[in-house]
Structure 1
Amino acid sequence: MAARAKIWFSCLFLISSAALAQQPPTIQVSVVPAEKTALADTTRFVGRIEAIEHVDVRARITGFLEKVEFKDGDRVKQGAPLYQIEKGPFEAAVQQARAAVEKMRALLENANIQKRRADELIKTSAISQATRDDRTASAREAEGNFAAAEADLKTAEINLAYTDITSPIDGRIGRTAVTRGNVVGPNSGVLTTIVSSDPMYVVFPVSQREFLRLKEEGRGTRKQSAKDFNVNIQFSNGAAYGEKGQIDFVDVKVDRATDAVTVRAKIANPNDELVDGQLVHVAVESGKPEERVVVPQAALIADQLGTYVFVIEDSKAVVKRVRLGPTKGGSVVVLEGLTGGEMVVVQGVQGLRQGAAVTASPAQPPVRGL
């Protein structure tokens, strides 16, 4: 009897050992929780800084340049003197035009006197009708000559005023293309350039696909307008610009060459950090943050069906198909597939299968959602 019991226990031990040998070993994985974070939708573009006002300064008359009254790069106010062209010839032209006006005024007065005299004499038939008509025509001719002389005087005065070239706007001035002593005129090209500096525009193209997506979101529950978006700028060296901008213009047509819509935002520039023509990175984010699920990019796995992650449920690996949103640093927004709080595998996913037994431990060091 004892021998039979011993044999029975031996068989039971062998069966248990075989069963244990057939069970797959648990897989060691590291996990982090799928975090819920208040985030604003962010879309990134490449843009260019543009001055709101941009003026190419040109000479409107021909003459010798006597003065350059600014330093390259100066900040100038509207009306500030920039260049002075030799005034002498233009002052002489004004005096000559004034003399012509006085001469034409005298001729006009005499012609009017002769006309009035003829009007009186014709009543007594002291002169012929033809003589009266001649004096009437002479008076009208003198009137026209006087008007032409006044117009010539006004033109001469305008040309004299053009000898002083002043700034039409507030802004910063570039370097001068000419120096004192040169002859300048309408054909001399641009003498210098002035650009306004505060605020500035940032202009960036938005692809048709992205434009339609944003437009569709605006029709949804959030009902966003251009004012609901903040515009952030990042320089080419990675430094972030401190001021935020707002979209103030969306072009009315699509560029056929790029299939993109031009969008413009206005942004403050109190310290002249932004320069006209500068290339920058633009991040457009919704002004109303929404709670989103965020997971590390290390947790993502892709196959022919799309993207998925492994989560741990009852010490087993479970596949969760996900639809992704924008990236946030080393993490990504999950639009569908996770509700938040799930333990997501970030290390040890190689060889992991649906339903596999796992031993989970927190990822070290912690992986932040942002």
Structure 2
Amino acid sequence: MNRTIRSITIGLLVLAVVSGCSSNAENSNRRNSQAARAVPVEVKKAVEEEFAVQMSLSGRLEAAQQVDVPSKATGRVQQLLVKVGDRVKSGQPIALLDGEELRIQMQKAQASMLSAKARYAEATEGTEAEVLAQTANSLADLQNKANAAKIDLDRAQKLFSEGAISTAEVEKARLALASAQTSLENQKQKAQQEKKGPTQAALDSAAATLKQAEADYALSQLNVSNLTIKSPIDGIVGSLSATVGENVSNNTVVAQVINISTMKVTAKASEGQVGQFQPGQSVAVKIPSADVTVNGKITSVSPMADSSKSYPIEIEVANTDLRAKAGMVASVEVKGNPHKAIIVPREAVITKAQSSYVFVVEGDKAKQVTVTTGESDGTKIEILTGLQGGESVVVQGQNTLTANATVAVIDPAQAQKASGKKGGNGQGNGGWQGGQGGSGGQGGQRNQGGQGGQSNPGGQTNPSGQPNSTGNPEPSATPKG
């Protein structure tokens, strides 16, 4: 009877011990499972501070003046007076054309102009005294003839009344008088006109003829002068497209002249950057290939975005030593205006599908917060909306997070120290796989899926007490409970 009671009591005790061990194991597994689900992350505070971005825009140098030099005449290239790279002044001859026909036309126009000048002078100076005397003599002679014709008519009429002559002879004498009187009257009008001088109409006609002749001569002179092709600006000959002996026509480009003593850079700013640039602002311009850094002045900021959604900005750059060349790459360096802003590390911001967000740790949860970003200096980025400052923002581990994920915040200094003490990997006996060494490392795992024991600092453990990575023997793991 006592033996039976003792057996029952021992059985109950064993059952209690086994139950206790099972309960402790379940609680431990639950805690381990929860810890395993927490994502380790590193965080930094979102802070409000003075922020100014050092912006760098790139572009290519262009000559401030770059002009094509066309031929203004048609002819054969007789001579080239410059070569590529020569410096030229405004008005300096570049090429000569052969134009004999134009020179002959100019001579004819000159002769016509001289003739028109003579006629105009005659009209404005009046009639000479010699001409007036000749007119007066002619007038007196005609007056005498008219008087004689009157006497002849009177005599013929008397003879006709006496029956001495016929009617026909009387009529002949009458016609002779009429003709003499007409000639006399015409000469009187001429003499009167010569005394008065030319009419206004005659003067206007002479003046118009002279002007036309002068215009024709000036045009012919211009055509001949166009046979000499000249540079329109001070600069350097950038190209020569004509050759000696080649026939060129009007508006054929024979050369290109560029002025690179002053150059310009056309850079493009983004929507967030364009507000930092103003006309008249001084900026640093670096030209790496010429090893030159100069101050430039912004001459224009486009108020409209181009097809690439960028805003063209033109910067004028002095190039007095001509070291910089057209086409070279230049970078425009400018520091933005300092302003108060909420700042987070650049890596904290995740951008997907044209939206940006960060993860903010609240307790043991990672909250996904949509943000609007501003400028970035490559290390830090400005947050325009979404954060107020002071939030703990995930900067490591954020790419594997989901909204409201459970997280475990890691001190980066301790994590770095622990990684420095990490031990080697060891292979256990009896089918046990050594885990990762180091303080608090994972224990061995049995091939059949069993859970190994915990390792000590720097070593591996297995049930058979095989040496760990340091070569020291370990005791066999004994399950608790």
Same topology, TM > 0.5: yes
What's 2:242 paired with?
178
TM-superposed deviation, 1:205: 9.3
Instruction: List per-residue Cα deviations over 1:148-207 (Å, max 9, x = no partner).
Output: 2322332233223323222112334332111122232305x211223333232527598x
- Counterpart among 26, 41, 51 of residue 38 in structure 1: 51
Instruction: List per-residue Cα deviations over 1:326-351 (Å, max 9, x = no partner).
Output: 44436543223445675543333335
Q: 1:12 to 1:54 in 2, by over 3 A?
A: same
TM-superposed deviation, 1:227: 3.4
Q: Pick the structure with greater CA Rg.
A: 2
Q: 1:200 to 1:132 in 2, by over 3 A?
A: farther
What's 1:299 paired with?
348
Q: 1:254 to 1:303 in 2, by over 3 A?
A: closer
Q: 1:203 to 1:107 in 2, by over 3 A?
A: farther
2:283/2:297 contact within 8 Å kept: yes
Q: In structure 1, what is the Cα distance between the partners aligned to 2:87 and 2:132?
A: 66
In structure 1, runs of 5+ residues without a counterpart are 1-6, 219-223, 365-370
Q: 1:300 to 1:131 in 2, by over 3 A?
A: same
- Counterpart among 223, 228, 240 of residue 159 in structure 1: 223
Q: In structure 2, what is the Cα distance between the partners aligned to 1:152 and 1:127?
A: 40
1:361 paired with 2:412, answer yes
1:229/1:284 contact within 8 Å kept: no
What's 2:3 paired with?
none
1:61/1:163 contact within 8 Å kept: yes
What's 2:255 paired with?
192
2:263/2:316 contact within 8 Å kept: yes
What's 2:30 paired with?
22
Q: In structure 2, what is the Cα distance between the partners aligned to 1:194 and 1:357?
A: 69
3-state DSSP class of the match of 1:180? coil
Structure 1 residues 86-95 or 189-198, which shifts more? Answer: 86-95
Q: In structure 2, what is the Cα distance between the partners aligned to 1:291 and 1:343?
A: 19
What's 2:298 paired with?
246
Q: In structure 1, what is the Cα distance between the partners aligned to 2:254 and 2:318?
A: 26
- Give the letter for the 2:81 counterpart: E
Q: In structure 1, what is the Cα distance between the partners aligned to 2:77 and 2:192?
A: 55
Q: 1:84 to 1:337 in 2, by over 3 A?
A: same
1:85 paired with 2:97, answer yes
Q: In structure 1, what is the Cα distance between the partners aligned to 2:43 and 2:365?
A: 11
TM-superposed deviation, 1:145: 2.8
Equivalenced residues, count: 339
- Counterpart among 368, 383, 406 of residue 334 in structure 1: 383
User: CA RMSD of the aligned region, Å?
Assistant: 5.3
- Counterpart among 252, 260, 279 of residue 227 in structure 1: 279
Instruction: List per-residue Cα deviations over 1:273-293 (Å, max 9, x = no partner).
Output: 4636x8x79889774232444
Q: 1:109 to 1:95 in 2, by over 3 A?
A: same
1:146 paired with 2:210, answer yes
Query: Which is richer in helix?
Result: 2
TM-superposed deviation, 1:248: 1.4
What's 1:72 paired with?
84
Q: 1:336 to 1:17 in 2, by over 3 A?
A: farther
Equivalent pairs: percent with the same residue?
24
- Give the letter for the 1:192 counterpart: A
Q: 1:284 to 1:119 in 2, by over 3 A?
A: farther
Q: TM-score normalised to the size of structure 1?
A: 0.65
Q: In structure 2, what is the Cα distance between the partners aligned to 1:192 and 1:56?
A: 6
In structure 2, runs of 5+ residues without a counterpart are 1-14, 140-184, 417-481
Q: In structure 2, what is the Cα distance between the partners aligned to 1:305 and 1:63?
A: 62
Query: Which is richer in strand?
Result: 1
